[in-house]
Amino acid sequence: MPSTAADPRELLHRHFGHREFLEGQEEVISAIVRGEDALVIMPTGGGKSLCYQLPALAKDGITLVISPLIALMKDQVDALAAKGIPAAFINSSLTQSEIGSRLARMRSGELKIVYVAPERFKSPRFVEALRDLKIDLFALDEAHCLSQWGHDFRPDYLRLKRALVELGRPQVVALTATATPIVRDDIRVQLELGQRGRKDPRVFVTGFARPNLTLAVSQVAGKADKLRRIKEVLKEYKTGIIYCATRKNVERLYKELRAEKVRCVAYHGAFDEEKRTKAQTKFMSGDAEVAVATNAFGMGIDRSDLRFVIHYDIPGSVEAYYQEAGRAGRDGEPSRCELLFNYADVKTQEFFLDGANPTREIIEGSYAAVKRLCARGPIRTPIAKIASKVGHGRPNQMAVGTALRLLSRADAIVRSYQGSRTYTTELVEPVKDIEELGFDFDALELKRERDGEKLRRIIAYAGEAGCLHRFILDYFGDPHVKDRCGACDNCASHKVRVARPVTADDRELVRQALLAVRGADGRFGRGRISQVLAGSRSKQVLDVRLDSNPAYGALKEQGVDYAFSLLTELAQAGCLAISGDKYPVLSTTELGRAVLEGTASATVAMPDGGAPAASSVKRGATKPASARSADAGEPRNEDLFEQLRAWRFKRARKSRIPAYMIFNDATLDELARVRPSTQDELLQIKGIGPAKARKLGKEVLAMIAESGGPSAAEAPAREPEAAAPEFFREPVPSEEDIYFVADAEEEFNG
């Protein structure tokens, strides 16, 4: 049903029922309609599908959409059919005759958009059949699967280069949510974009900004502290996903939350199909409010009303983090993305890194072991046993699993799945020497380094003192970077603090913090030093004798969050430097040393909650900004709240932007409680920065004045803050924890 009108806006209204394009869509669509090749990098939920579905309507021929998400194809096709767009899919769920009949419908011009699974291109017959058709656009979804540097490499994608040549090099658009520059370059190379007579592709990096997401990192002492924080978040945010790095953590946390009567489901890769579907359905239908899951959960999660995504463990890269965190707030409403950071968790990711990147010795040792074990024919031996024959100490089983995969890809061995998570392994005859397998060990080493760099960047994110949104946008190379977002805990907490000369009261706190850093000898970052200051008895502190640091326990009363904020502020104030190639570590600067010696004074935005205890009452840690809910004790003026909402609606419509971009609900709520009366007071409200105060302040203040004026004077005293978290001895994750995931990897890739 080719459209006669090729005006993208008209098509947008008519077929998709949307009034406006989302950020970036219009530019991308215009380029594709003009026939240019394009590389589109947009986050999950950014509206990538429309970028090829709409141009497909403006073209005469067929648009092929290559997608690895077979499970979603039917839904996508049904959704298109519901919009009156004739579409179909071709994947392994169909019989040969069904495929044949769909090809016939393509030939007759009946189908406009056809989804195809990448493995179809293994079949020369299939490619041959496509050659007779008019393929106008080749849209490659999840294009990062092409790149060995991506997190989800699919060897089938490598066949697409040849298929494109055989199809006479149609126009190509490659789309992905998670591409760093290196993956981007790889996609260009693999698809030969800008070659074979095609112009250089247009590259769009857009839409990564998610202003409705409040980004936050909480430094936590261990599992008990994580649970405490999760309960706080659940109280306020209710619906969302908690991602864990290991299956074991999923199961443990799931039990803990069930014991707290949280309506939750668990989900990970070791569950069978039925159990997974059940968990997913329960969560999607709203029967469960919380999903506790590994990264296996998420592909195709289309629940747009998730109010939070918590990361229980640090993931392996910023891409993985943002993709998962980005599942929150897809409806545009304010939502929270919080990373619970405990340095010990990095060890899990380091283990994965080793597992995904076996050394040359492990690859050679694995091949030698398989040669010995298979000398008399195929074996049905678990990886653990093969690993025990590899030598080189106690090799990481996951690394041996990866080595076997590489050997199988090099056609040295064959591993066949036998069901029930078992494989047979056999040698390919004639048996070759390792040198004949053509391994590029330098490239493997390079990949290992790159994975290491990705991990360092997410660790840097966890320790970032500046704007977290900015960090993410910089990382992806999205040019839409603002200085400060007002929607991450770092910006929010800076906003309420003003740098001022350190008073006599605060001097000792500053001195102790500087002493702790000096005593740690430039070897540790803010997380560990704040634990030292708070007097943590955690293994990470005790194992490296940090309890003998001169400032150990000096800020026990103020707590670890306070200590962390103070270290951050001291870095901002130039008293401390954050540096380090591998992991960000703290050291004192010249100014810091002078302050310690009493020859200089510093100007510091002291965090709240730090004044030395005047009485013996133990003071609590500063809560993260969002949990601070500054005026929870004050009643909300409901009339004012409603007035503000109505005003926001009109304002948003006038400016043709979503309502949350004016102010989110939390900001309206705070306005209706605090009822500020001046521009300065307005700036104290979360979500109102100088630009918004300038632009909208007058109108808001007028509404507040009309509603009966400010309330601050009559405000009741604030609730006392929560007690400082207690520190539990927390072992670093055991290898057992991690092997749990190692067999998941094996299952997935094997």
- Looking at the Cβ atoms of 89 and 254, the one nearer to ligand ADP is 89
Cis status, amide bond into 430, omega within 30 of 0: yes
Closest distance to ligand ADP from the beta carbon of 687 (Å): 23
Using CB under 6 A as the binding rule, whether residue 138 contacts ligand ADP is answered as no
Is residue 711 within 8 A of residue 674, CB to CB? The reply is: yes
What's the min distance (Å) between Cβ of 40 and ligand ADP? 9
DSSP 220-252: --SHHHHHHHHHHHHHHH-SEEEE-SSHHHHHH
In the complex, the smallest distance separating the C-beta of residue 48 from ligand ADP, rounded to whole angstroms, is 3
Structure tokens at 127: 């490619």
Distances (CA, A) of 97 to 74, 78, 117, 396: 18, 21, 17, 46
Smallest gap from residue 43 Cβ to ligand ADP (A): 7
**HEC secondary structure over 468-536:** HHHHHHHHHCCCCCCCCCCCEHHHHHHHCCCCEECCHHHHHHHHHHHHHHHHCCCCCCHHHHHHHHCCC
Rounded to an integer, what distance in angstroms lies between the CA atom of residue 594 and that of residue 414?
Answer: 66
Nearer to ligand ADP (CB atom), residue 18 or residue 593 = 18
Contact between 239 and ligand ADP by CB under 6 A: the answer reads: no
- For position 65 contacting ligand ADP by CB under 6 A, the verdict is no
Classify residue 433 by its DSSP letter.
P
Closest separation between CB of residue 54 and ligand ADP, Å?
9
CB of 25 to ligand ADP, least distance (A): 6
| DSSP, res 13 | I
Least distance from C-beta 161 to ligand ADP, angstroms?
23
- Of 42 and 515, the one with the shorter C-beta distance to ligand ADP is 42
Close Cβ partners of 520 (under 8 Å, ≥ 6 residues apart): 528, 529, 532, 546, 549, 586
Residue whose CB is less far from ligand ADP, 304 or 678: 304
323 binds ligand ADP (CB under 6 A): no
Of 79 and 703, CB closest to ligand ADP: 79
* Shortest Å, Cβ 574 to ligand ADP: 42
Contacts by 682-687 with C-beta closer than 8 Å and gap 24+?
683/495, 684/495, 684/496, 684/630, 686/486, 686/492, 686/495, 686/625, 686/626, 686/630, 687/486, 687/487, 687/663
Q: Which is nearer to ligand ADP, 176 or 348 (CB)?
A: 176
Question: Should residue 540 be labelled a site residue for ligand ADP when binding is judged by CB under 6 A?
Answer: no
Residue 710 near ligand ADP by CB under 6 A: no
151 binds ligand ADP (CB under 6 A): no
Q: State the greatest distance between any 2 C-alpha atoms of the chain, in Å, as a whole number.
A: 90
Distance CA(671)–CA(538), nearest Å, equals: 41
Is the Cβ of residue 25 or residue 512 nearer to ligand ADP in the bound state? Answer: 25
Closest distance between ligand ADP and the C-beta of residue 180, in Å? 17
As a three-state string, the secondary structure of 636-695 is CCHHHHHHHHHHHHHHHHHHCCCHHHHCCHHHHHHHHHHCCCCHHHHHCCCCCCHHHHHH
Residue 572 · residue 497 · CB < 8 Å = no
**Considering only residues 8, 15, 21, 67, which one is a binding residue for ligand ADP as defined by CB under 6 A?**
21
Which residue has 């990711």 as its token pair? 349
Q: What angle is formed at CA 698 by the lines to CA 697 and CA 702, rounded to 5 degrees?
A: 115
**18 scored as a contact of ligand ADP (CB under 6 A):** yes
Burial level of 741, CB count in 10 A (0-12/13-18/19+)?
Answer: buried
Q: What residues pair up with 579 in beta bridges, in sequence order?
A: 585
Looking only at residues 447 through 476 of this chain, which bind ligand ADP when binding is defined by CB under 6 A? Answer: none
Nearer to ligand ADP, 25 or 626 (CB): 25
Rounded Cα–Cα distance for residues 345 and 731 (Å)? 10
Q: Does 661 bind ligand ADP (CB under 6 A)?
A: no
Q: Which is nearer to ligand ADP, 84 or 377 (CB)?
A: 84
The residue within the footprint of ligand ADP, chosen from 9, 14, 22, 153 (CB under 6 A), is 22
Q: Which is nearer to ligand ADP, 566 or 662 (CB)?
A: 662
HSE-CB for 154 with a 13 A CA cutoff? 19
Site string for ligand ADP, 337-376 (x = CB under 6 A): ----------------------------------------
Which lies closer to ligand ADP via its Cβ, residue 41 or residue 399? 41
Q: Which is nearer to ligand ADP, 48 or 248 (CB)?
A: 48
Helix (H, G, I), strand (E, B) or coil at 195: coil
Please report how close the Cβ of residue 13 comes to ligand ADP at its closest, in angstroms: 10
Q: Which is nearer to ligand ADP, 22 or 270 (CB)?
A: 22
Site mask for ligand ADP (CB under 6 A), range 38-57, x = bound: ----x-xxxxxxx-------
Q: Give min distance, CB of 147 to ligand ADP, in A.
A: 18
Min dist CB 277 to ligand ADP, Å, is 21
74 binds ligand ADP (CB under 6 A): no
Shortest spacing between CB 144 and ligand ADP, in angstroms: 13
Q: How far is the CB of 83 from ligand ADP (least distance, A)?
A: 10
CB 65 within 8 A of CB 116: yes
CA–CA gap between residue 390 and residue 404 (Å, rounded): 12
The percent helix, strand, coil of the chain (3-state, each to 5) is 50, 10, 40
Complex with ligand ADP: residue 44 or 402, whichever CB lies closer: 44
Window contacting ligand ADP (CB under 6 A); options: 21-29, 372-380, 542-550, 607-615:
21-29
Q: Tell me which amino acid residue 436 is.
A: E
Residue type, position 18, single letter: H
- Is residue 144 within 8 A of residue 151, CB to CB? The reply is yes
Number of residues that bind ligand ADP (CB under 6 A): 13
Q: Give yes or no for a contact between 159 and 122, defined as CB atoms under 8 angstroms apart.
A: yes
Give the interface segment with ligand ADP, choosing from 20-28, 191-199, 478-486, 610-618 (CB under 6 A). Answer: 20-28
Site for ligand ADP in 586-645 (CB under 6 A): none
Binding mask 205-234 for ligand ADP (x = CB under 6 A): ------------------------------
Residue 400 in contact with ligand ADP, rule: CB under 6 A = no
Closer to ligand ADP by CB, 44 or 490: give it. Answer: 44
9 binds ligand ADP (CB under 6 A): no
- Shortest distance in whole angstroms from residue 327 CB to ligand ADP: 10
Query: Are 210 and 326 within 8 A, CB to CB?
Result: yes
The C-alpha R_g of the chain, in whole angstroms, comes to 28
Tell me whether residue 47 or residue 574 sits nearer to ligand ADP (CB atom).
Answer: 47
Rounded-to-integer distance, Cα 42 and Cα 204, Å:
8
Binding site for ligand ADP (CB under 6 A): 18, 20-22, 25, 42, 44-50
